[in-house]
Amino acid sequence: MIYKKLLDAIQSNVNQKPLKIALIDPDKKNDMTLSDQIEYIERNDFIAVFCGGSIMMDAMYHKRISYIRKNIDLPLIGFPGSVSQINENFDALLYMSLISGRNPQYLIGEQVLSAPIIHDLSLETIPIGYIILNNGKKTSVEIISGTDGLPMSNHDVVLAHVLASQYLGHKMIYLECGSDSEKIIDIDLLKKIKKNVNVPLIVGGGIKNQEDIEIISDCGADFIVVSSMIESYVNL
């Protein structure tokens, strides 16, 4: 099971090095750089790949998933923005509930629509509490989801949502700043969350370099999701 492999990665990480997960967005028309992204991922100590995006921009989405599956040996985990992005090539699926917003489509609607498909494909699911954080600039994930992120400056409100996710039984919590965010997560907020919850934390958004990765890891993230940093590298 992929979920168990992720837990094992945390438990065996005796040197406390950052556990990096790559995010590839097959929505984007990046066919010219897709092979370069895969090569970069294979060479830079990533433990898994999240695959998905906010919307489907063209009909090539599923063909890109097949290409990624054939060319990468790491666990391929679906990170779907909608039911239409579920693919049989995924080793597992992040079964997310967008609990930072109040849009019923992403709280339960997409989950209900996707359940029969997941059942038919026998996909492993990892229940995730997905929390969008806002640092002053509206990100693309907020626009697409029709929700506002929680203000990072209000630690108590964010923590209440994180605790609710844990008590609802989510196996992991994903703290999302948005790949187009200008800043990483508020470090004091991350430390406070880590102190008060006992489920693994996934953190992504605003990560531009190795220093950002190290800081987020040292302050409590179990997994760090890297996306725009990879795209920036292959587009040099």
- Residue 183, domain CATH: 3.20.20.390
Structure pTM?
Answer: 0.96
User: What are the residues whose beta carbons fall under 8 Å from the beta carbon of 110, sequence distance 6 or more?
Assistant: 80, 82, 83
Please answer whether residues 226 and 21 qualify as being in contact, where contact means their C-beta atoms are separated by less than 8 angstroms. Answer: yes
Q: Residue 133 pLDDT more than 80?
A: yes
Write out the residue range of the structural domain in which residue 113 sits. 2-234
Q: Residue 165 pLDDT more than 70?
A: yes
What pLDDT is stored for residue 29 in this prediction? 65
Domain total of the chain: 1
Q: Residues 106-130: what's their mean pLDDT?
A: 98
- 187-193: long-range contacts (C-beta < 8 A, 24 or more apart)? 187/215, 187/216, 187/219, 188/155, 189/133, 189/152, 189/155, 189/158, 190/216, 190/219, 190/220, 190/221, 191/219, 191/220, 192/155, 192/159, 193/158, 193/159, 193/162, 193/220
More confident residue, 236 or 155: 155
Band of residue 36 on the pLDDT scale cut at 50, 70, 90: very high
More confident residue, 141 or 30: 141
pLDDT above 70 as % of the chain: 98
Specify the range with the lowest mean pLDDT, choosing from 33-42, 48-57, 93-102.
48-57
